[in-house]
Structure 1
């Protein structure tokens, strides 16, 4: 399309100039009462098309120039017909480019000129009302076509803008999801590494075997965090292979790696979860256990998964065996969990529970199919 426009823009004025000059000679044979074209007439026939060369950058100026040339040509008594080609193109171009009020004003002026000239000034007056109606109809068709094309272009431009805006919004949502994934991965594994490193340093002299276990956990945690970071960041490279996203099927591995004494209980009918719920459930448990490791070291934790008819209940409770847990207003962990739940149409609460802390999330899941209860 752009290649075509590069040819059309410079060639159209030349083509219209040749067309108007050559076809005007033929029009004179059918209008013997009109003045024959002389050198000035030929110059006018060429001037109008040449003004079209700047029609895209100066549409109003082009319209004024073509109309002025046409008015002078007709007033000199030359033949009707081909001289109108240039102002027709100028009218259409100006409407399409959005100069509607100016175009309608000049359309009215052109109509008045032609009616006055053909009715009272022409050597041979034209027939009355029918001729006036024909002039108005031609001008109306030109303007209507221009308005239609302009409106269609505006709709296409608006549609493209909406598509681009939606693409930007989706990209922003993807970046936010990646940030949440990276936060959860880093927070959990770095906290685990910190706790296990502290344990190893404390036991390395007196209980080297337990220190070895802590160091093994650190090694595995560092490997896991690198693996999960590659999985999250691989979406930045087109065609990059992605590892399976962490989900509820890896919950047992997560609990074992946390280094906490955790009891896990599952009730209800276990069934496949939507990908978003599966990933969010895993991350919520991960963040809750990270908070226990960070703020209540030495405490015990209980993880409850309850598969209800329409929702999955996730409850993580710690005994508060260490310093007080994270407050509701501090850090990004709890707000991040709450945002995950809300994005799926669920809810999450985090509050004191006895001496400890409890995180409870309710995520919507598909209903149990009939006949499978």
Structure 2
């Protein structure tokens, strides 16, 4: 459990602390440079620009990256030392973590080329060991920041997926346990209650056949057996069922992926009160989950749109990210989605769309679900008990 001090150093407060530390480093480099060789007046705002812009990275990560790297390039000729590059390195790692890989990699390559060209020019265009050493030091740190941000992003995506898998395993184990309990109850109680009901029914039938009034106690036993059978059937149904619609849990699923730096727009027309086939509901939830996981892992964008709508005869699922669509190589995730859709007789389309890379699934719904009956059918009346019918139910 986090301590109060740890809780206070999260979010914007942590950003301000990091910005203050980076500002102290850059200004310290400026003071050291000014005390020895002097520092131009415009060097101070360039050194302060990156740290002051850093607290805005959560809302404007790309703008912060451009400003910070631009300040680094502009102040490169001042010779203020390696501490001045810390804000740019942090901004590069953060931008990679947020998924802006194309822009970040491009900037790193440009800065690397400018660094190499600047050191070469300063040496009179003589390619020496000192030029190589100075250039590779800067280029190496730029790539370390690049790799650090991407590795942390992949790690968080893996941890999120592992957490989802663990949750599903726990739920699956709980469902298996409920089924086991239901089976045990069925085997132990249903048979005994059925025998009681058969015996009471046969006794009542014989009494009425002889023209006698059945004993009230015997009538009460038969009624109690009927009630017990009905209640036991309802209990077993509840134990076998899952805990509500899976699609009603899409919002918490999207919230977990938002923690990885993606803006997720969610439109879901299915809630706990909706009448939905269990297999369609399960398949739709898995498609949304897999598509979100693919977006976090492979998308170059930062925004995902999730839409779940009910058509006249099918459930429509669309997950699209604003990354640049490329060549689709079906992996286990897309193959699994296609197998789920094919099993239900639906259609799956994966590839470029008007928004970006898009996964679209159409899942047909059974006719009894399309009717969407608000009132359940009444339970059929139990026929008059006979030895033949009751014994048939016990098998």
TM-score (normalizing by structure 2): 0.49
Provide the rounded CA distance (Å) in 1 between the counterparts of 2:60 and 2:28: 27
Q: How does 1:66-145 map to 2 (within 5 A)?
A: 66-75=68-77, 77=78, 79-120=80-121, 127-145=130-148
1:193–1:222 CA contact under 8 A, matched in 2: yes
Between Structure 1 and Structure 2, how many residues are aligned?
244
User: Which residue is 2:31 aligned to?
Assistant: 25
**Structure 1's 141 and 162: CA in aligned 2 closer, same or farther, altered over 3 A?**
same
What SS class does the counterpart of residue 128 from structure 1 fall into? helix
User: Which has the greater radius of gyration?
Assistant: 1
Query: Does structure 1 residue 169 correspond to structure 2 residue 172?
Result: yes
1:37–1:78 CA contact under 8 A, matched in 2: no
What per-residue deviation string (whole Å, max 9, x for no partner) do you get for residues 40-84 of structure 1? 322222211122112233322211110111122224x35233321
Provide the rounded CA distance (Å) in 1 between the counterparts of 2:164 and 2:134: 45
User: Which residue is 1:351 aligned to?
Assistant: none
User: Which residue is 1:5 aligned to?
Assistant: 10
What SS class does the counterpart of residue 5 from structure 1 fall into? coil
Which of residues 42, 48, 51 in structure 2 aligns to 1:49? Answer: 51
Which of residues 148, 151, 163 in structure 2 aligns to 1:148? Answer: 151
Q: How far off its partner does 1:27 sit?
A: 4.0
2:30–2:39 CA contact under 8 A, matched in 1: no
1:13–1:53 CA contact under 8 A, matched in 2: yes
Query: Does structure 1 residue 206 correspond to structure 2 residue 219?
Result: no
What per-residue deviation string (whole Å, max 9, x for no partner) do you get for residues 121-180 of structure 1? 589999322222222222232223333322322221111111122233344445656777
Provide the rounded CA distance (Å) in 1 between the counterparts of 2:64 and 2:29: 22
User: Which residue is 2:22 aligned to?
Assistant: 16
2:29–2:80 CA contact under 8 A, matched in 1: no
Provide the rounded CA distance (Å) in 1 between the counterparts of 2:74 and 2:80: 12
**Structure 1's 72 and 187: CA in aligned 2 closer, same or farther, altered over 3 A?**
farther
Provide the rounded CA distance (Å) in 2 between the counterparts of 1:297 and 1:222: 14
Provide the rounded CA distance (Å) in 2 between the counterparts of 1:197 and 1:106: 85
Q: Which moved more, 1:114-123 or 1:19-28?
A: 114-123
Higher relative contact order (CA 8 A, sep 6+): 2
Q: Which moved more, 1:3-12 or 1:188-197?
A: 188-197
2:29–2:84 CA contact under 8 A, matched in 1: no
Provide the rounded CA distance (Å) in 2 between the counterparts of 1:48 and 1:158: 34
What SS class does the counterpart of residue 215 from structure 2 fall into? helix
Long gaps (5+) in structure 1: 236-292, 302-317, 319-324, 327-332, 334-358, 360-373
**Structure 1's 111 and 172: CA in aligned 2 closer, same or farther, altered over 3 A?**
same
Provide the rounded CA distance (Å) in 2 between the counterparts of 1:53 and 1:122: 38
**Structure 1's 155 and 44: CA in aligned 2 closer, same or farther, altered over 3 A?**
same
What per-residue deviation string (whole Å, max 9, x for no partner) do you get for residues 23-47 of structure 1? 32124446x3xx5142x32222221
What SS class does the counterpart of residue 36 from structure 1 fall into? coil
Query: Does structure 1 residue 297 correspond to structure 2 residue 297?
Result: no
**Structure 1's 190 and 133: CA in aligned 2 closer, same or farther, altered over 3 A?**
same
Q: Which moved more, 1:11-20 or 1:119-128?
A: 119-128
Provide the rounded CA distance (Å) in 1 between the counterparts of 2:157 and 2:230: 49
What per-residue deviation string (whole Å, max 9, x for no partner) do you get for residues 75-108 of structure 1? 4x35233321110100111222233332222111
**Structure 1's 84 and 230: CA in aligned 2 closer, same or farther, altered over 3 A?**
same
**Structure 1's 299 and 197: CA in aligned 2 closer, same or farther, altered over 3 A?**
closer
The root-mean-square deviation of aligned C-alpha atoms, in Å, is 4.6
Long gaps (5+) in structure 2: 1-5, 240-381
**Structure 1's 294 and 206: CA in aligned 2 closer, same or farther, altered over 3 A?**
closer
Q: How does 1:230-269 map to 2 (within 5 A)?
A: none
